[in-house]
Structure 1
Amino acid sequence: MSVQGTILVLDGVSTNRIMLKVQLTAAWYHVVQGEKLEGLQALVRRTQPDLVLTAQTLPDGTAADVKNAIATVPGLEDVPIVAVAAQNDRDARLRALKDGLDDVLTHPFKDTLLLARIRSLLRARAVTQDLQASNSSQPIGFGEPAPSIIRPPKAAQVSILTHAVQTGVLWHKALREQRQYSLSWHLQSNLQSVLSGAVPDAVIVELGTHPSDLNILADLRSRSITRNTVLIGVMQDNDTLQASEALDRGADAVCLGGFCTQEILLRLDNQIARKARLDHLRVSLRKGIAESWIDPLTGLHNRRFAMRALDQIARESARTGRGFSVMLADLDHFKAINDDHGHASGDHVLTQAAERMRGALGSRGFVARIGGEEFMIGMPDVSPTQAKQMAETLCSSICSTPFRLSNEGRQVDVTVSIGLKMSQPSLPAQDCVSSYVETLIDSADKALYAAKKAGRNQVRIRQNAA
């Protein structure tokens, strides 16, 4: 039997646990049971649940105590916790949301709503885990992992979508009087007004009986600009089937029984805080990925990027039949600059050399720093004549003007040697591209050695791959 995840059911009443186990097992979840708060931390360490369903009141504690206890267990801080209430008590639901629980379900509830809420919460947790794993597995050179506490923006952008103008005005007024959100409201018939403005952190959607209401949720969740926006549905009745459908269409939460200002505010606070943490993880991950391709001293791309870029250039060349070039450039007598003027001056020369070569090449290819004073240049869609002219231009950009040193007013002349290799007219099959690129780089390296041996400050072209 396929098991979709582990769910911990906590309840002091055995019949309640049994009923939930039957419902969840039928949906292919693995169910672990517990009766009370005592021993809970050892239980969750052993079972590693993906979600917790707990009675609001246990023999020795409350659902809030459950959340606090599990939050101290490493690796389980983000486990969704849902309270199960014995009756439809709005005050109890509000208290649970205020305590930070992810949701509250009220007996009796249908399987469809229970399972839809579980699916929604597990999807949300999977996103969190993926981002945390990606950040924690970053190699050296990536950005720092996100701090444990990330505060949401002071003025979150919240949009309200309703069927009628009067409803939108009332909801807007109720939220504006309670919080300093940056609020806007729109008719559902004018969804474009939401999509064309500032990207909202959260959207509150009125859910009626029309199928288009649910389609709006799916639409917002599928668009790139609102993919990570918090979506909260508000229903006038207690239609659990529609609520289940809303959750499966992408809603982060559904408020049953009409618009309740306190409940909306609590759900906004909880969901926007979670979104802020995830946004921070995304920024950290994007920054880390970008930094992994960049040489920190010169700002040029690094060897890792250069090898990936050359591979892509070669594959495109194999597809189109148009040639490309590989160059290796090495600053001449660079060790003497470090020895005579210090490493700070040497670093200053490297950054200027990078600027000059990047300026000379422009958008016609890439230049990367692949070693101490060694650079790689790749040019796609280029003829041998064009490649040679560019190599000579790069050489001239270095030697034409003296380099400033870190000491004020001092300058030094610098030259560069360049080895050039063009791709062959007949290119290899796609599955042999990587080894072919390595061969070209080796040939460019031999050409660079020849330029050094011939007196430096010049370009040499390798005519074959031997």
Structure 2
Amino acid sequence: MPGDILIVDSVATNRIVLKVKLMAAQHRVHPCENTAMARAEIEKALPDLIILDVTTDSTAALAFCRTLKQRPETTLIPVIATGSFPDPGDRVRALEAGAEDVLARPLNDQILQARIRSLLRARDANLELRLREDTRRALGFAETQAGFDRGATVLALSPEPRFLRCAERKFSSCRNIKVRGAGFSTGTGLPDRLSGDLLLVDGRDKAMPEAELYRLLSELRSRTDTRNAAILVVLPEDRTTIQAMVLDLGANDLVMEGASAQELVLRASGLIADKRRNDALRDTVQSGLRAAVTDPLTGLFNRRYALPHLENMADRAAEANHQIAVMVLDIDHFKAINDSYGHAAGDEILQQVAGRLRDNVRAVDLLARIGGEEFLVAIPQSDADHARQAAERLCRVISGAPFYVGGDAHAIRVTMSIGVSLSGPGPAPVITRATGATGELVRAADLALYAAKGSGRNTVSLSAA
């Protein structure tokens, strides 16, 4: 997932080397010599992630990090602090200032790239939660959150009982965190029932095959009782070769054996907070709000939800200097389907179309039914080429296989036409973002839809600038 990454480092060589490595991974990179330049870059456009060197002037760097975490518009930007960290307390101070991760120089490229991928995934989930909460408030459904902290459970997973005792000592200062243990051994798998907000996985045993640790993480992410838990893996300092794979297989964070209790607690607390935000994201979809903003036939969001949500998406895109793509999709000759097969068959077609669309968009995308046979899709961080490819793929998803309706499972061929518009900035087609311009984006996509219908249907048309 390419992102906009801001590098803040006073050493020119460090900036150049890091820029080359990140650009090779398709990231867009903005190098800055100092925090003043970084602030100016942030004012122009919000980055997706910041790599902040804290070696040369740690006081200024950590103050910069604290300021980022205090401002609502920048608090969700992940920060990776880099430096030499000769004193373990230096790592703790960076984490206390708000850094999501701390990496010692020289940077291992594989580990850095895996850390970036992991942090960008977490950032996307947090942004989606904020976006949904903004939409809830716009609809008048937001509720005041209780201040009571119900506490959290850390489940220590290890073949050694002393690992549990060590974890209990390190979390002993946390009154709201309870530590429990569960054992496992190579080849025997995990216990049948596991539960915890954070899974603290013991990966210190060098005799454990790497494949076994990978299998363990994959199992934890696939099980219904642990798939939504945060995972923190403890590794020996010298097992650098597996760190990137551990992160990519589902671990949210790593901590090295021998890390201080303060560092362990800070990392764990951050992961537990992220886990609860993700829980809240799922709860918003499952709550009573759903009935008010959901189309009862298809289960998709309805127009009442879609337009305020789209407005929030456009606002976020404008702040971050990104584009969003808006698609209006319409089933071709839907009246003929109703006339030929009856309205019950038409309803089944709508439900199945909604299902195919839902299976082919991401959680961060907006999908809604906004009219009889008309749907809306909005894709953040898109451009003209990406939007066209996505729309053409959705056309193929609908036309590629027949729909079966009725008791006799009658096969009906269905196609869909799609009109697309994009918000600024970027190359044409562009709709300038301004107050109330969400309606203009939808109208432009609707006009492009008419062009798609006029050019033979089952096709995609992009709006002109």
The 5 Å alignment of 1:241-390 reads: 241-258=241-258, 260-287=260-287, 289-292=289-292, 304-305=295-296, 315=348
Matched, 1:21 2:7: no
In 2, the alpha carbon distance for the partners of 1:33 and 1:152 equals: 42
Seen in structure 2, the aligned counterparts of structure 1 residues 244 and 140 have a Cα distance that, compared at 3 Å, is: closer
**TM superposition score normalised by structure 1:** 0.59
Number of the residue aligned with 2:182: 186
Deviation at 1:155, TM superposition (A): 2.0
Number of the residue aligned with 1:171: 167
Deviation at 1:313, TM superposition (A): 10
Number of the residue aligned with 2:330: none
Seen in structure 2, the aligned counterparts of structure 1 residues 72 and 257 have a Cα distance that, compared at 3 Å, is: closer
Amino acid at match of 2:39: Q
Mapped contact 1:10–1:33 kept (Cα < 8 A): yes
User: Per the alignment, in what secondary structure is the counterpart of residue 104 of structure 1?
Assistant: strand
In 1, the alpha carbon distance for the partners of 2:345 and 2:135 equals: 26
In 1, the alpha carbon distance for the partners of 2:225 and 2:42 equals: 37
CA RMSD, aligned part only?
Answer: 3.7
Number of the residue aligned with 1:156: 152
Number of the residue aligned with 2:422: none
Mapped contact 2:345–2:406 kept (Cα < 8 A): no
More displaced 10-residue stretch of structure 1: 274-283 or 201-210: 274-283
Number of the residue aligned with 2:123: 125
User: Per the alignment, in what secondary structure is the counterpart of residue 290 of structure 2?
Assistant: helix
Structure 2 unaligned blocks of 5 or more: 301-342, 353-404, 415-465
Number of the residue aligned with 1:115: 113
In 1, the alpha carbon distance for the partners of 2:407 and 2:253 equals: 60
Mapped contact 1:162–1:188 kept (Cα < 8 A): yes
User: Per the alignment, in what secondary structure is the counterpart of residue 53 of structure 1?
Assistant: strand
Number of the residue aligned with 2:233: 233
Match of 1:77 among 66, 75, 99: 75
Structure 1 unaligned blocks of 5 or more: 295-303, 320-422, 433-466
Deviation at 1:108, TM superposition (A): 1.0
Deviation at 1:84, TM superposition (A): 0.4
Seen in structure 2, the aligned counterparts of structure 1 residues 311 and 164 have a Cα distance that, compared at 3 Å, is: farther
Seen in structure 2, the aligned counterparts of structure 1 residues 431 and 53 have a Cα distance that, compared at 3 Å, is: same
More displaced 10-residue stretch of structure 1: 110-119 or 230-239: 230-239
In 1, the alpha carbon distance for the partners of 2:407 and 2:176 equals: 66
Number of the residue aligned with 1:143: 141
Mapped contact 2:118–2:252 kept (Cα < 8 A): yes
Larger radius of gyration: 1
Seen in structure 2, the aligned counterparts of structure 1 residues 88 and 249 have a Cα distance that, compared at 3 Å, is: farther
User: Per the alignment, in what secondary structure is the counterpart of residue 144 of structure 1?
Assistant: coil
Deviation at 1:10, TM superposition (A): 0.2
Number of the residue aligned with 1:196: 193
% identical aligned pairs: 27
In 1, the alpha carbon distance for the partners of 2:409 and 2:347 equals: 8
Mapped contact 2:6–2:38 kept (Cα < 8 A): no
Deviation at 1:179, TM superposition (A): 4.1
Match of 1:33 among 19, 28, 31: 31
Seen in structure 2, the aligned counterparts of structure 1 residues 307 and 50 have a Cα distance that, compared at 3 Å, is: closer
Deviation at 1:251, TM superposition (A): 1.1
Matched, 1:89 2:80: no
Matched, 1:214 2:214: yes
In 2, the alpha carbon distance for the partners of 1:245 and 1:283 equals: 30
User: Per the alignment, in what secondary structure is the counterpart of residue 82 of structure 2?
Assistant: strand
For residues 315-367 of structure 1, what are the alpha-carbon distances to aligned partners after superposition, in whole Å with 9 as ceiling and x for unaligned? 39x99xxxxxxxxxxxxxxxxxxxxxxxxxxxxxxxxxxxxxxxxxxxxxxxx
In 2, the alpha carbon distance for the partners of 1:152 and 1:14 equals: 48
Seen in structure 2, the aligned counterparts of structure 1 residues 428 and 289 have a Cα distance that, compared at 3 Å, is: farther
Seen in structure 2, the aligned counterparts of structure 1 residues 312 and 141 have a Cα distance that, compared at 3 Å, is: farther
In 1, the alpha carbon distance for the partners of 2:105 and 2:79 equals: 16
In 2, the alpha carbon distance for the partners of 1:60 and 1:91 equals: 13
Seen in structure 2, the aligned counterparts of structure 1 residues 312 and 219 have a Cα distance that, compared at 3 Å, is: farther
Seen in structure 2, the aligned counterparts of structure 1 residues 98 and 426 have a Cα distance that, compared at 3 Å, is: closer
Seen in structure 2, the aligned counterparts of structure 1 residues 259 and 164 have a Cα distance that, compared at 3 Å, is: farther
Mapped contact 1:135–1:285 kept (Cα < 8 A): no
In 2, the alpha carbon distance for the partners of 1:281 and 1:146 equals: 16
Tell me the number of residue pairs that the alignment of Structure 1 and Structure 2 aligns: 316
**TM superposition score normalised by structure 2:** 0.59
